[in-house]
A and B are shown apart, each in its own frame.
Chain A
Amino acid sequence: MSKREKWVYALGVSGTVLLIVNLYRILLVLGDEMQQGAIYRIIYFHVPAAFIGWTLFLAALVASALYLWKKDLAFDGFAASAIEVGWVFCSINLVTGMIWGRIIWGIWWTWDPRLTSMFICWLLYGGYIVLRSAIDDAGQRATVSAVLAIFAFADVPIVFMAIRWWRTQHPSPVLETGGLAPEMRLPFWLNVFVFLLIGLAITLVRVDQEDTQRELEGLRRRAF
């Protein structure tokens, strides 16, 4: 078993164990929120999914800049992996947010700055994934992808700041203003940690695939 595989198992298993413990606490121990009832529990999945998505996009930004500097395809592989996994977490954030909004606002979607900027983020990184599959030459693909990853990241701070800059349908920040009850804080941050462990484990699996893909491209050049 390689060192990377050991890390995948360690992160995956510890993430799953912590998740089970935390799910028990979130679903069976914690009481309902006074105004929202049971549906508020979506916060334990909706917000961590966004945090991990943004963290992976930031990691991809750094890796893409490093690729443009060093021209090492390993950085490109890492950036592609982080973006694909981040995009899945971004999708989870959007879907859970829509379900939460349906109950609290009575609508599935509204074009307010937070939701719209997050949707643009999802589209930009979705475009990155599609673009990569459309370019055959590895060097050209890596350069174009790196530039797009850097360009796309410009939207992430806008998404983060949207609820601070504009009056939005989406609630204002609750974490930094103490809006979350003390007993809800530990399970919330534990779930952020769990999502981080799971996100890292999946990213490592995806990085392994990128390495195998590069090995395959090298073998193909020798074979034909």
Chain B
Amino acid sequence: MDKRNFLYLFYGLTLAWGLLAAYLFILMQRSRKLRAEVDRVKRMVGDNER
């Protein structure tokens, strides 16, 4: 029981922080894509107005 107890505690903590880390990774990727897209469209707007 005790060994399994520790093992499942480890699974629980790993999953909890793993989920949060995965979400943070997705957020960072999304931010990077958004910033690149804003720069691209800003350049397009600049070209159109020139």
Contacts and interface: CB of A to CB of B under 8 A. Distances in A.
* A and B from one complex: yes
Interface of A: 36-39, 41-42, 45-46, 49, 88, 91-92, 95-96, 99-100, 102-103, 198, 202, 205-206, 208-209, 212-213, 215-216, 219-220, 222-223
B19 A92 contact: yes
Interface of B: 1-2, 4-6, 8-9, 11-13, 15-16, 19-20, 23-24, 27, 30-31, 34-35, 37-38, 41-42, 44-45, 48
Given A88-B19, A95-B19, A209 B34 contact: yes
A99 B16 CA distance: 11
Contacts of A223: 41, 44-45, 48
Contact of B16 (A36, A92, A206): A92
Given A37-B2, A223-B44, A206 B38 contact: no
B31 A205 contact: yes
Counting from the closest, the 8 A-B pairs by CB-CB distance are A99-B12, A219-B41, A37-B5, A223-B44, A39-B5, A38-B5, A212-B34, A88-B23
Nearest to A91: B19
Nearest to B23: A88
B38 A88 contact: no
Contacts of B41: 216, 219-220, 223
A45 B19 CA distance: 13
A36 B6 CA distance: 11
B34 A45 contact: no
A95 B16 CA distance: 8
Contacts of B16: 45, 49, 92, 95-96
17 contacts: A36-B5, A37-B2, A38-B9, A45-B16, A88-B23, A95-B19, A96-B16, A99-B15, A100-B8, A100-B12, A103-B4, A202-B24, A205-B31, A209-B30, A212-B31, A216-B38, A222-B48
